[in-house]
């Protein structure tokens, strides 16, 4: 968890973790003025370490920012499996966005410098928000290094994380960033009224014990899900009735889900999770979702479990309402299909007193 460390030189260092997140209900309506429920999981995380230094230094990761290869084939294989980019660009982008925000809002920063480094165990291309976890953890380090946590409102911080990613051409919505900034289980209302008036949504933390036992399915070598939002968003902007009405229904699932969680209505949760995926499939189409992603959902449904994407594809969140015997059947099906299955560990809220103070 968040911790202050001492570096080998004896100088104070700061380290923060940001956890992977699961979009439980309502996604992807966060980019369509909808509502969502998301939560962070302790299974995977990114950590960023800030150490005072003479110059501002962004340290490449020894694996994720590899620039030395055994051969041309090694380089090619690396690019095909990991892509072109590691985390250095993410750290640079949040530094830029943070500095500009402070300048624009007359927040004074001291002139001392730092070195940023990062690590992550969040599997790539699994729809678990690996990129935003790095950015979110880095932002927390900057807030503490400059002692401005109380000056930058909690509700605004997800916008800073998203703006850093937008700098790099990453297409995304606020949901993931809200979940990672707040931690724990959060209900989010992105209605146009709130977004236009406040510049952000209304975010309401919920008790993590309301969630039933959940599981995560993902592939060891996922295929890139691509920019799955693009065509649907254009249709939405063009006034496509199917997209508009379907996205409104997706947002309403989060509202129904909040009630179902509060009332411990697990049979209702099964219906809502399945409906969420069915609506996504209707809007985006099988080609866009990808055969492997669809199969992960179907594997769970074959044993009677509820299932949906955690994000835009790459991993699936599963609820087995019948308990351990159903989980056992799911394990067998996943093994046959070559998928990894593990229990979800819910990561609690990461807010401290300064964060709560900034809400005011």
Catalytic residues: 176
Quick check: bond before 28 cis, omega within 30? yes
**Residue 265: how many other CB atoms lie within 10 Å:** 15
DSSP 234: H
| Token pair listed for 46 | 């990114």
Burial label for 161, CB within 10 Å (0-12, 13-18, 19+), is: buried
Q: Rounded to an integer, what distance in angstroms lies between the CA atom of residue 306 and that of residue 289?
A: 18
SS3 113: strand
CA distance readout (Å), 271 to 58, 265, 278, 292, 307:
46, 10, 10, 23, 10
| Token pair listed for 161 | 């994380």
Report the candidate in 14, 287, 226, 315 with the shortest Cα–Cα distance to residue 139.
Answer: 14
CA dihedral for 213, 39, 306, 309, sign (positive or negative): negative
CA dihedral for 111, 113, 118, 124, sign (positive or negative): positive
| Token pair listed for 274 | 């399945």
**Residue 268: how many other CB atoms lie within 10 Å:** 15
H helix runs in 83-191, sequence order: 88-104, 130-145, 157-167, 175-182
Q: Rounded to an integer, what distance in angstroms lies between the CA atom of residue 332 and that of residue 329?
A: 5
Interstrand relation of 202-206 and 57-58 (parallel, antiparallel or unpaired): unpaired
The DSSP H or E segment spanning 41 is strand 35-53
| Token pair listed for 83 | 């892509």
Q: Rounded to an integer, what distance in angstroms lies between the CA atom of residue 88 and that of residue 64?
A: 9
């Amino acid at each position: 968890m968040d911790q202050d460390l001492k570096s080998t030189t004896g100088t104070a260092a700061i380290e923060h973790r940001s956890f992977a997140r699961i979009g439980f209900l309502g996604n992807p309506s966060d980019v369509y003025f909808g509502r969502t429920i998301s939560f962070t999981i302790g299974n995977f995380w990114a950590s960023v370490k800030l150490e005072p230094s003479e110059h501002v230094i962004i340290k490449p990761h020894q694996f994720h920012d590899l620039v030395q290869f055994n051969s041309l084939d090694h380089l090619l294989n690396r690019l095909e499996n990991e892509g072109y980019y590691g985390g250095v660009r993410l750290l640079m982008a949040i530094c830029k966005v943070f500095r500009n925000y402070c300048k624009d809002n007359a927040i004074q920063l001291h002139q001392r410098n730092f070195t940023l480094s990062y690590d992550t165990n969040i599997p790539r291309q699994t729809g678990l928000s690996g990129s935003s976890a790095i950015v979110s953890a880095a932002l927390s380090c900057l807030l503490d290094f400059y002692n401005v946590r109380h000056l930058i409102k909690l509700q605004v911080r997800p916008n800073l994380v998203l703006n850093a990613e937008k700098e790099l051409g990453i297409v995304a919505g606020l949901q993931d960033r809200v979940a990672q900034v707040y931690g724990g289980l959060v209900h989010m209302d992105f209605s146009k009224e709130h977004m236009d008036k406040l510049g952000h949504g209304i975010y309401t933390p919920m008790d993590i014990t309301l969630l039933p036992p959940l599981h995560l399915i993902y592939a060891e070598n996922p295929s890139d899900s691509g920019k799955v939002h693009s065509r649907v968003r254009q249709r939405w902007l063009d006034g496509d009735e199917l997209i508009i009405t379907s996205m409104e229904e997706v947002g309403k699932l989060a509202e129904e889900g909040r009630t179902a969680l509060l009332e411990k209505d697990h049979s209702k949760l099964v219906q809502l999770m399945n409906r969420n995926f069915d609506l996504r499939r209707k809007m985006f189409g099988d080609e866009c979702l990808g055969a492997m992603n669809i199969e992960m959902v179907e594997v769970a449904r074959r044993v009677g479990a509820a299932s949906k994407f955690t994000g835009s594809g790459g991993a699936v969140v599963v609820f087995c309402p019948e308990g351990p015997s159903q989980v056992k059947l799911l394990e067998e099906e996943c093994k046959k299909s070559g998928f990894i299955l593990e229990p979800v560990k819910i990561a609690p809220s990461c807010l401290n007193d300064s964060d709560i103070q900034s809400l005011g």
